[in-house]
Structure 1
Amino acid sequence: MAGIWVLLGTLVVATAAGLVLQRRNGRIKAAKPVTVRPELPQPVAEALDPGAPVTLVQISTTFCAPCRQTRALLSHLADRTDGLRHVDLDVTNQPEVAQRLGVLRTPTTLAYAPDGRELLRIGGIPKGPDLLEALAPHLKLSA
């Protein structure tokens, strides 16, 4: 009888954890204002386009299946949105880049202004309409 209760308790905890993780996936978090901006890692600084109001830097790894889905979504958004650029940065062989950016999971998408200021970040697969709505003030779009 005790084994059934242990199994039932495990199922409840696992279900709750799954629901929490699912709810957090793709949620947009606005960057916190900082007085002193840390220096960006070189691969990220090189990826920024001074001519684009927003550069989306996707942090990926080689064997990440959601990263491929995110890459397709962000490339499509960048192709059809003026002023939006997308760069996919594979950090499989350079984990120090992810560590310096405070990225704990892939895919993570970071939106940067041309001056290197972080505008927002998204853990997991972004939701296209929500992302465009959050970026609208930076892209001069109507939300």
Structure 2
Amino acid sequence: MPQLSKIRYCLTHIKLFDDFRPYTKVIKNKEVGHMTTVKDYIATHDDRLNFYTHAITNAHGQNHPEVFAVRGQYIRLRTAVNSDLSLDENFAELRQTTHDYAIPNDVCPVFKATYHMLATADKLNASA
């Protein structure tokens, strides 16, 4: 898929979430203060993270094959949350795969939002 088509794919599919544009500001300014646990955060953002981790595999998988691992790791994280297990190992894997949630220069806003949400969840887990 050419780069422009990948960007269009991401931008077309994020319209399902009306509040996408201010999303990173919402995370930084409001939501973290109101969330009490990482498990609450993951539960609240599960639909979005599930959709986004899938979308970035389609849009960026060819140039960033690590997104396939991120998708699998998110599914395992979600399972751990639902099973009430420790999340430390899951986040350690995500940090390693994403190089501490470093965002490449050639990615769409969905990719960026995905990594921001995962990093926020990781910070909540670390502060627990």
Q: Same fold (TM over 0.5)?
A: no
Q: TM-score, normalised by structure 2?
A: 0.35
Higher Cα radius of gyration: 1
Q: Which has the higher strand share?
A: 1
Q: TM-score, normalised by structure 1?
A: 0.32
